[in-house]
Amino acid sequence: MGFHLLDLFKPSTWQYFLSNYFSTNLIINIIDILVVWFVIYKLIMLLNGTKAIQVFKGIAIIIIVRIISDFIGLSTVSWLMSQVITYGAIAAIVIFQPEVRRGLEHLGRGSILKNIKRQTDHKNKLIIELDDAIQYMSKRKIGALICIENRDSLVDYVETGISLDSDISSQLLINIFIPNTPLHDGAVIIQDEKIASASSYLPLSESSLIPKEYGTRHRAAIGLSEVSDALTIIVSEETGDVSITHSNKFMPHLEQDEYIKILNDELIQKIEENKQNIFYQFIEDAKKNFRGGKK
C-alpha cells in the first residue's frame, strides 16, 4: 500500500509516527537533559566573575571524580566524594550567603524587554556624565583614569582600591580626580552602572612600543586592555588630551565627537545587537544581579 501526501493530514498517520519513533521515555529524557544543561549553564553565567566560581569548579571536579569512581567500583572514594558534595554545597551556601540572597532577590525582577531598555537608558546616562566630566577635566588638564567593566570581571582590581558603590555623576568623577585629594591617584572602576571603586591599581603594560611621552596612566590603561575587554578613558594632566584603550587597542588624541562615538559603539550598540537574543539578555541581567549590582 503506497503512501500519499494527503496521508500527512490524517490523525492516524501522526499517531503511528509518534508511537513508533517517539516514546514517552525518550521525550522525558530529552527534557531532563535540556533542563540540567540549562541549570548548569545558568549557574556558570551567574557565578562568572565572582569568587564563588572557584568553589563551583571545585564541586564540578569532585562530581566528575565520583562518577569515575562509581564506574570503576571504588566504593570508598565514591562515598567520600558524596559526603564532600553534600556538606560542601551547604558550606558554599553559608559562605556565599550574601551573593545567593541578592541573586534570589533580583532574579526575575522586571521583564526582559524592560531590562533591555533599562540597560540602554543607563548607558546613555553614563555617556552623558562621562562626557561632562571629560570636558571639564580636559580643559583644566586634570589627569583621570576611568575603567568601564565589560564581560571580563574587574573584581580583582576593584579590591585594590577604595570601595565606593556610588551612583555615577560627572561631579563625583571630577571631585575624585582633583589633584591632591585622597582618591585622585589610581583608577576609577565602573561596574554594573556604579562607581565601584576609586584609587584602584591597574597592571602596567611592559610593551616597548609605547612612546616615552606617555606616563603611568597610559601604561596602566594599555596594560588593562592587554588582559581584559574593559574600556578605559585617559585624560592627560600634561596636555589635556583624551585617549581610550579597549581590547588591546590604543586610541590617542581623541576629539569630543570621536570619543563619544567610541563610547556609543562599545556601550550602546552592543546592547542593540543583542536585542534579538533574549536568552543572552536574561543571563546577562541575572549575572549582574547575582553579583550584587543594585539597579
pLDDT in tens, 232-258: 999 999 999 999 999 899 999 999 999
**pLDDT, the chain, mean:** 80
Calpha distance 227→154 (Å, rounded): 10
Q: What is the pLDDT of residue 205?
A: 92
Q: What is the pLDDT of residue 293?
A: 46
Calpha distance 218→228 (Å, rounded): 15
Domain boundary among 106, 136, 165: 106
- The verdict on 120 and 95 lying in the same domain is no
- The verdict on 68 and 193 lying in the same domain is no
- The verdict on 167 and 91 lying in the same domain is no
- The verdict on 124 and 224 lying in the same domain is yes
CATH number of the CATH domain containing 157: 3.40.1700.10
- The verdict on 96 and 216 lying in the same domain is no
Within-domain flag for 223: yes
Within-domain flag for 295: no
Calpha distance 92→52 (Å, rounded): 8
Domain boundary among 51, 77, 106: 106
Calpha distance 224→227 (Å, rounded): 5
Domain boundary among 70, 85, 106: 106
- The verdict on 173 and 254 lying in the same domain is yes
In the Cβ-directed half-sphere of 103, how many Cα atoms lie within 13 Å? 21
Segments forming the whole domain that contains residue 263: 112-290
Calpha distance 84→182 (Å, rounded): 46
Q: Pick the more confident residue, 67 or 112.
A: 67
> Into how many domains does the chain fold?
2
pLDDT in tens, 107-150: 555 444 556 667 778 888 999 999 999 999 999 999 999 999 98
pLDDT in tens, 5-36: 555 556 666 666 666 555 566 677 778 888 88
> Helix, strand, coil shares of the chain as percentages rounded to 5?
60, 15, 30
Q: What is the pLDDT of residue 86?
A: 79
- The verdict on 118 and 43 lying in the same domain is no
Q: Which residues contact 277 (CB under 8 A, 6 or more apart)?
A: none
C-alpha cell at 267: 556601550
Calpha distance 2→138 (Å, rounded): 82
Q: What is the pLDDT of residue 6?
A: 53
Within-domain flag for 273: yes
Q: What is the pLDDT of residue 177?
A: 96
Question: The whole model's pTM is what?
Answer: 0.63
Look at residue 89 and tell me whether its pLDDT is greater than 60. yes
Cβ(200)–Cβ(157) below 8 Å: yes
- The verdict on 85 and 206 lying in the same domain is no
